[in-house]
Copies of this chain bind each other. A is one copy, B any other.
Amino acid sequence: MARPDDRAPDQLRPVRIQRNWLDHAEGSVLIEFGATRVLCAASVQDSVPRWRRDSGLGWVTAEYAMLPRATHTRGERESVKGRLGGRTQEISRLIGRSLRACVDFKELGENTVVLDCDVLQADGGTRTAAITGAYVALADAVAWMRERELIKGDPLICSVAAVSVGVVDGEPRLDLCYAEDVEAGTDMNVVCTGDGKFVEVQGTAEGQPFDRAELDALLDLAAGGCAELTRLQQEALNR
C-alpha cells in the first residue's frame, strides 16, 4: 500500500528550517517536517542549576510542549490542569539528553542553554523535528555567545538529528506522519550524531513484538534519514 503522501518508504517529508524566527531569542528556528511545525528557541543564561554551581561546567536543558490546537481535536493545557503530563516530561527529557550529547560542558563554561520546543502544529514526528530544529537553534546560540566572547572555544563537539521509523503494513518506513503513526505495529525514534553514531534508540512494539531482523531494518532506515537531516541542518546553518 502506498504512503498517504506517496513517498518512498525511505523518503523524508519536505523539511523546512527557518532560522531567526524570533527577535529576542539567542537562537530560534521554525522547523517543519511536512505539516508538523515546531518552534525551537534557545535561551542563553549566565548561570547553571544549583547542583552544578562552581563546577566550571555548563548545562543544556529542554522543555517540550504542544499548543492546545496543534492537534486534530483541542487538548487541555497542562498549565490549566496544573501538572505536566508524563508524555511531555518524557519528551522534554529525551530532547535534553540528545542535545547534551553534542556539547562539551567545559567549553560552555558556567552557562545554561534552555531549548524550548513548542509544537505549533502536530502531524507525527514532533519530538524528532524538535531535536533536529533544537540543534540548529543551539548552534546559533553558541555562535551568539562566541561573537560576544562569552566563551572562547567551541562547545559543539558534533551535531545531532532525529527521525522516527516504523513498520506499517509490514513495511519499514521513514519519518511517519500521524496517519501512519497510529497504524504502525512498531514505532522507533532514533537520534544520531552527524557522523552516524547513535545517541538514543527508543523502539516500542505497539502491536506485535518485533524480531531482530525488523529491528535491524529500522535502524538502517533511521541512520539514512538522520544523515539526510544532518545535511539539511548544515545547509540551513550555511545560509
Chain A residues with CB under 8 Å of chain B are 22-25, 28, 35, 39, 41, 43, 45, 63, 65, 67-74, 77-90, 92-93, 97, 101, 114, 116, 118, 120-121, 123, 158, 188, 192-193, 196-205, 208-212, 215, 219, 223
Contact = CB atoms under 8 A, between A and B. Distances in A.
A77 B65 contact: yes
Nearest to A40: B69
B80 A86 contact: no
Contacts of A63: 68, 77, 80
B193 A200 contact: no
A24 B86 contact: no
A95 to B, nearest CB: 12
Given A74-B45, A92-B86, A198 B215 contact: yes
Nearest to A90: B90
Given A77-B63, A197-B211, A212-B198, A69 B25 contact: yes
A215 B43 CA distance: 34
- The A interface is mostly helix, strand or loop, or mixed, namely mixed
A210 B118 CA distance: 29
21 contacts: A28-B69, A41-B68, A43-B69, A63-B68, A63-B77, A65-B77, A65-B79, A79-B79, A79-B81, A79-B83, A79-B88, A80-B84, A82-B83, A82-B84, A84-B86, A86-B92, A89-B90, A97-B204, A158-B209, A188-B201, A197-B211
Given A67-B118, A86-B89, A43 B211 contact: no
A197 to B, nearest CB: 4
Contacts of A210: 197-198
A93 B86 contact: yes
B84 A24 contact: no
A85 B3 CA distance: 38
